[in-house]
Structures are given as C-alpha cells and as structure tokens.
Amino acid sequence: MTLTETPLDAGTQADLESHFEATIARNDRIEPRDWMPDGYRRTLVRQIAQHAHSEIIGMQPEGNWISRAPSLRRKAILLAKVQDEAGHGLYLYSAAETLGVSRLELTEMLISGRQKYSSIFNYPTLSYADVGSIGWLVDGAAICNQVPLCRTSFGPYGRAMIRVCKEESFHQRQGYELLTTMMRGTDEQRAMVQESVDRFWWPALMMFGPPDADSPNTAQSMAWGIKRNTNDELRQKFVDMSVPQAEALGVTLPDPDLAWNDERAHYDFGQPDWDEFMQGVKGNGPCNAQRLAHRRRAHEDGAWVRAAATAFATKEATA
C-alpha cells in the first residue's frame, strides 16, 4: 500500500495542515488530490475497505436463498438485491482506490483476515424469512449507519454513500414488504417470521459497534468528519424507528427491557451479548470461517480468468 506522501518542509506542512483543518471545519469535502494527514488516509482506507468487504461478504447470507426463493417474483427481487450489493462493493472499492490502494490489495487483505467486515454477516440464514429480516433490520441498521456518511468529509466516499443509501432504502423496503406478506400467510409463516426476527434483532443492534465507552476510535473519526454520530446515538435512533415498525408488522422484539421512556423521549432497551459479538470479531462466529472460505475460493478460482484478461489486454495493446 502507498499510504505515505513525500516529506515536506515544516512551513509547507503547517500550511497544508491548516488548509485541511479549515476544510473539515467548513464541513467541506476533502478530495483525493488534496493533502491529507496520514492518519486520516489510513483511517479512511480501513473504514472504506471494511465497508466494501461487508457489501461483498454480505452477498453470501442472502445469496444462500436465491436458489430456493419460493416465487419467481421473490427470486428476481432477491437476485437483484444481491447484485446491488456487488455494485455497492464496486463503488466503495473505487472510492478506496482514489486513496492509492487497489481492489486486489484490499481483497487480499480481506481473505487473509487482515481486514474485517461487518460481523452481522457471520450469522447464518436459516429460513426464507431471514431474507426479509435482513432487509428490514440489517439494511435498516446499515441505513442508520450510512446516512450520516453521505456527509462524510472525504468526497468519493460521501458520493458513493449517497448512491448506496438510496439502494439500501429500497432493500429495506423490500425486506419489510416480504415480512408483511408472510405475516398475512399461514401460521407456519408467521412463526417463521417471529423466529427470524428473534435471531436477527440483537445482531442488528450490534451493527452499530460497541458502546461508546468501549469504542476508542470514535472521537478521532468524529473530529475528522469521517464519522458523524457515535455508536450509541445511532443505535438509539435505530431502536426508536424499529419499534413501531415491529408493532405494525405484528412481531415481538425479543427484549424484555424494551420500553418507552417519557423523560428521555426514547425507548429504553437491553444490551446485546457483547461477548458473542467479540467472538465474531475475533473470527469465532458461526459463519466466519465459511464466509471467508467462500470468498477466498471465488477469488482463487477466478485467478486464471483475471490472468487471461490481463494477458489478452497486453496482446491487444501491442498488436
């Protein structure tokens, strides 16, 4: 990776830094050709890459049900959704490339386990209702996380997020609509929806990251305008939005502590199992090994194809 810039004399360095700080202070965008501190660049690469990887790994849990979608319409919706996620990965890898890292480098960081992806995708999808729960809760939580990123300080990332958020809203809508339709179906289907929501509610809350007290990088990321809200703020917002949606759907959220708090004008809620969360982060979640192995296999199986494309392009260029 090329993450360092040429050394500058002290005066120029100070000018650049104050220019950068002023841009951030104005809530303006930093563009790829602008000077930026090393730490800012590194943080962005890490965050955008992790985000891109999440989109790509996130194709797997739902991709698991494409071959079994129970109607032609649902099959088309699901296939199109998983395809959108590939597109999101593509935009995000492109945004990362403006910072001087290639998609290939980042992919290798992913499959060697040196870069992470969202732990939510280490949970298995066990019924067709999970396609709906993922749309509603996982895409929904992703939206809460990502809407503020449309205003993130790095231009290419913010612009990618605007496109991504539009499609995530659509996914959320479709997921919720699937669950609504299933709730109008048979008793077995309603039970399937409830069981699925029971499994995905807590992992969805974990998507906002550990509580603020245990989130060491948040303060710097907020100062740089990369991150706009704390984990706990976003989690609260998500809970507040989801409760009425769950009621309209007719499912019970699996949290006995969930209750409206008049004083705070927010819902109180319980804490997810952060030990289980940490297991997932450390690679011990239910599907970590499977997801990475799938990605690694696809990447390695494709090596000869990419080599052929490169060889062909070289021949064409010299022909």
**54-73 residues near Fe ion, rule: CB under 5 A:** 55
Q: Is position 28 an interface residue for another protein (rule: CB under 8 A)? A: yes
**DSSP designation for 29:** P
| Contacts of Fe ion in 130-169 (CB under 5 A) | 139, 168
Q: How far is the CB of 48 from another protein (least distance, A)?
A: 15
Q: How far apart are CA 96 and CA 102, in angstroms?
A: 8
Q: Which residues are 261's β-sheet partners?
A: 266
Q: Is position 49 an interface residue for another protein (rule: CB under 8 A)? A: no
SS (H, E, C) 197-254: HHHHHHHHHHCCCCCHHHCCCHHHHHHCCCCCCCHHHHHHHHHHHHHHHHHHHCCCCC
**Which range binds another protein by CB under 8 A, 42-50, 118-126, 277-285, 305-313?**
305-313
Nearest alpha carbon to residue 161 among 65, 48, 67:
48
Q: How far is the CB of 81 from Fe ion (least distance, A)?
A: 6
The 122-151 site mask, x for binding another protein (CB under 8 A), equals ------x-----------x--xx-xxx-xx
**Of 9 and 188, CB closest to another protein:** 188
**DSSP designation for 121:** G
**Of 53 and 171, CB closest to Fe ion:** 171
Which of another protein, Fe ion, none does residue 18 bind (CB under 5 to 8 Å by kind)? Answer: none
Determine which residue in the list 96, 106, 178, 287 makes contact with another protein, applying CB under 8 A.
178
Which of Fe ion, another protein, none does residue 100 bind (CB under 5 to 8 Å by kind)? Answer: none
Q: Is position 278 an interface residue for another protein (rule: CB under 8 A)? A: no
Q: How far apart are CA 81 and CA 79, in angstroms?
A: 5
240 CB neighbour count, 10 Å cutoff? 15
Contact predicate 226/154, CB 8 Å: yes
Binding site for Fe ion (CB under 5 A): 55, 85, 88, 139, 168, 171
